């Protein structure tokens, strides 16, 4: 079962996506997601120029061997560009193997451990009334677990907060990358944020009661002692997790946070390999692994990280914002369904244009996702539609402090 053809498809139906399509001699195709927000063309070039030529003629069935060949063989290990490229290949090969087996991919990962995949959605608002509207909208869609982000008094736009309220059924999700030549610059003030967030969660608990599962993302914006303070001040509101409370390049910082708070911690959306997690897992400094399959070398390597985490009762919380393509989301859902230490799955609906390019068999109902029963991943890419949406440069915003200093997280 040799690889005959490798296509790298960059398309921008509302936002940019990088997809690899591997075709075998027998005409079986597999898709993999290599989207890296704001750096898409680096992965596309890595795949096109350095990986595709190595794949031609290889046995498509040799998934683990190909992973090791690309990881160890390059000499240059780790990093988001390399690991997104390896992830794309890995997922495409799993897709091919499952299609050949005639089974949905989760069956090859050990079969289902649960009936569905519990998902959380993103509610946000510039102020409390907008936030409440957004939470209600998510509840009406079926979400039982909701991430809560709000504006901060005195600040203009805040990362992670939808810029316009839901109106007339319009979506309330946010897209943080903006299609501008240079990244937009926003002003940030951590002390103001730390004063405001506990009041938001108090208001949400008073309005929606104790049962609703609530999450919050700190987007790395705190020092260790500020993160410790936030975790402690949120304890009365019983969060499912506090995500990215402090930058995690320095895992020792988490020791300080952990020693001050029992609010569960989730980290890892910018991590690429098991080595980023080593201290955090062995010292039990986190409760949830946040990696995306797309940025962590694919199903093969994230599965190993999650098996390692399971020995410490640490669970999964796979990254699933809109900058993970439907291919990456589907891959996550197959893994979520199969592993034992599943925690929760992030889920943001993609735009209509994205759904036109990627047809999907996964579904969302009553707060739960399911990857579907189609052989393989259950996602196909319509190349004609993809061609209608050429790449457009887009970047995540940059934050500066009130005095103009570049942020320090």
**Quick one: which of 33, 40, 173, 217 contacts Mg ion (CB under 5 A)?**
217
Closest CA to 267 of 252, 286, 250, 254: 286
Q: Which region, judged by CB under 5 A, interacts with Mg ion, from 50-58, 212-220, 257-265, 325-333? A: 212-220
Of 91, 89, 61, which is closest to residue 73 (Cα–Cα)? 89
CB atoms within 10 A of CB 185: 11
How far apart (Å, rounded) are the C-alpha atoms in residues 7 and 26? Answer: 16
Task: Count the residues of the shown chain that bind Mg ion, applying the rule CB under 5 A.
Answer: 2
**Beta partners for 368?**
118, 365
Q: Does 321 bind ligand KDG (CB under 6 A)?
A: yes
Cβ proximity to ligand KDG, 98 vs 329, nearer residue:
329
Quick check: 330 and 371 in contact, CB under 8 A? yes
Q: Which residues are catalytic?
A: 159, 219
Closest C-alpha to 283, from 239, 327, 253, 245: 253
User: Binding of Mg ion at residue 323 (CB under 5 A)?
Assistant: no
Q: What mask of x and - would describe binding to Mg ion in positions 254 to 273, judged by CB under 5 A?
A: ---------------x----
Q: How distant is the alpha carbon of residue 246 from its chain centre?
A: 18
User: Does position 90 bind Mg ion by CB under 5 A?
Assistant: no
Window 270 to 299, contacts with Mg ion (CB under 5 A): none
The contact mask relative to ligand KDG for 191-230 (x = CB under 6 A, - = no) is --------------------------x-x-----------
- Please report whether residue 264 would count as binding ligand KDG according to CB under 6 A: no
- 175 lies in the binding site for ligand KDG (CB under 6 A): no
Handedness of CA 64, 67, 73, 75 (dihedral sign): negative
Reading the block at residue 348, the tokens are 């943001």
Residues 332-371 as x/- pattern, contact with Mg ion by CB under 5 A: ----------------------------------------
Q: Does residue number 176 form part of the binding site for ligand KDG (CB under 6 A)?
A: yes
Integer Cα distance of 47 and 7 in angstroms = 9
Helix axes 299-310, 326-338, angle to 10 degrees: 40
| Chosen residue from 137, 287, 323, 380 binding ligand KDG by CB under 6 A | 323
Q: In the 8-state DSSP scheme, what is residue 365?
A: E
**Distance of alpha carbon 265 from its chain centroid, rounded?**
16
With residue 120 as reference, give the H or E element that holds it.
strand 117-125
Q: Which is nearer to Mg ion, 44 or 253 (CB)?
A: 253
Residues from 112 through 151 that contact ligand KDG (CB under 6 A): none
Indicate the burial class of 211 (C-beta count within 10 angstroms; 0-12, 13-18, 19 or more).
Answer: exposed
DSSP type of residue 103:
S
Binding to ligand KDG by CB under 6 A, coded x per residue (else -) over 37-76, reads: x---------------------------------------
Residue 141, both tokens = 């869609």
State in angstroms the smallest separation of the CB of 101 from ligand KDG: 32
Task: Pick what 176 binds: ligand KDG, Mg ion, none; C-beta below 5 to 8 Å, kind-dependent.
Answer: ligand KDG
Compare residues 6 and 131 and give the one whose CB is closer to ligand KDG: 131
Cα–chain-centroid distance for residue 47? 21
> Which residues lie across from 376 on neighbouring strands?
104
Backbone φ, ψ for residue 5 (5° rounding): -145, 140
Q: Does 173 sit near Mg ion (CB under 5 A)?
A: no
How does DSSP classify residue 293? G
> Which CB atom, from 264 or from 376, has the smaller least distance to ligand KDG?
264
**Contact region for ligand KDG (CB under 6 A) — 95-103, 193-201, 315-323, 327-335?**
315-323
Tell which positions 269-288 bind ligand KDG, by CB under 6 A: 269
Segment contacting ligand KDG by CB under 6 A, of 110-118, 130-138, 305-313, 316-324: 316-324
Angle at 302 between CA 296 and CA 303, to 5 degrees: 165
By C-beta, is 95 or 217 nearer to Mg ion?
217
Question: Within 345-364, which residues bind ligand KDG (CB under 6 A)?
Answer: 346
In the complex, minimum distance from the CB of residue 390 to Mg ion, in angstroms, rounded to a whole number: 28
Q: How many Cβ atoms sit within 10 Å of the Cβ of residue 237? A: 19
Interface contacts to ligand KDG, rule CB under 6 A: 37, 176, 217, 219, 243, 269, 319, 321, 323, 346, 396
The contact set with Mg ion (CB under 5 A) reads: 217, 269
């Amino acid at each position: 079962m040799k690889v005959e053809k490798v296509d790298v498809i960059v398309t921008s139906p509302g936002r940019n996506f990088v997809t690899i399509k591997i075709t075998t001699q027998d005409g079986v195709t597999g898709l993999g997601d290599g989207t890296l927000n704001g750096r898409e063309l680096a992965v596309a070039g890595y795949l096109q120029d350095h990986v595709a030529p190595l794949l031609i003629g290889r046995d498509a069935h040799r998934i683990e061997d190909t992973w090791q060949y690309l990881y160890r063989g390059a000499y240059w290990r780790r990093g988001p560009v390399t690991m997104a490229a390896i992830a794309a290949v890995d997922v495409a090969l799993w897709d091919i193997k499952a299609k050949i087996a005639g089974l949905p991919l989760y069956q090859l990962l050990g079969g289902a451990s649960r009936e569905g995949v519990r998902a959380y959605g993103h509610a946000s608002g510039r102020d409390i009334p907008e936030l409440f509207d957004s939470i209600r909208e998510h509840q009406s869609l079926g979400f039982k677990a909701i991430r809560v982000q709000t504006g901060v008094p005195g600040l203009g736009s805040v990362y992670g907060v939808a810029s316009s309220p839901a109106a007339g059924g319009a979506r309330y999700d946010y897209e943080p990358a903006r299609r501008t030549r240079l990244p937009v610059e926003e002003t940030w003030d951590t002390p103001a944020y730390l004063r405001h967030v506990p009041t938001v969660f108090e208001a949400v608990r008073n309005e929606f009661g104790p049962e609703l599962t609530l999450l919050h993302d700190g987007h790395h914006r705190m020092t260790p002692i500020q993160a410790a303070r936030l975790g402690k001040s949120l304890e009365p509101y019983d969060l499912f997790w506090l995500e990215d409370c402090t930058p995690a390049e320095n895992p020792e910082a988490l020791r300080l946070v952990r020693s001050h708070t029992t609010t569960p911690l989730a980290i890892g959306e910018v991590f690429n390999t098991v080595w980023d997690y080593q201290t955090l897992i062995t010292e039990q400094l986190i409760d949830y692994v946040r990696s995306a399959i797309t940025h962590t070398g694919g199903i093969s390597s994230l599965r190993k990280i999650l098996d390692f985490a399971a020995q410490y009762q640490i669970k999964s919380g796979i990254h699933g914002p809109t900058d993970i393509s439907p291919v990456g989301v589907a891959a996550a859902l197959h893994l979520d369904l199969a592993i034992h230490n599943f925690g929760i799955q992030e889920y943001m609906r993609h735009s209509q244009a994205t759904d036109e390019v990627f047809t999907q068999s996964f579904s969302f109902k009553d707060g739960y996702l399911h990857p579907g029963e189609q052989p393989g991943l259950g996602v196909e890419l319509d190349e004609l539609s993809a061609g209608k949406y050429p790449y457009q440069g887009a970047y995540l915003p940059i934050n500066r402090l009130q005095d103009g200093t570049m942020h320090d997280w």
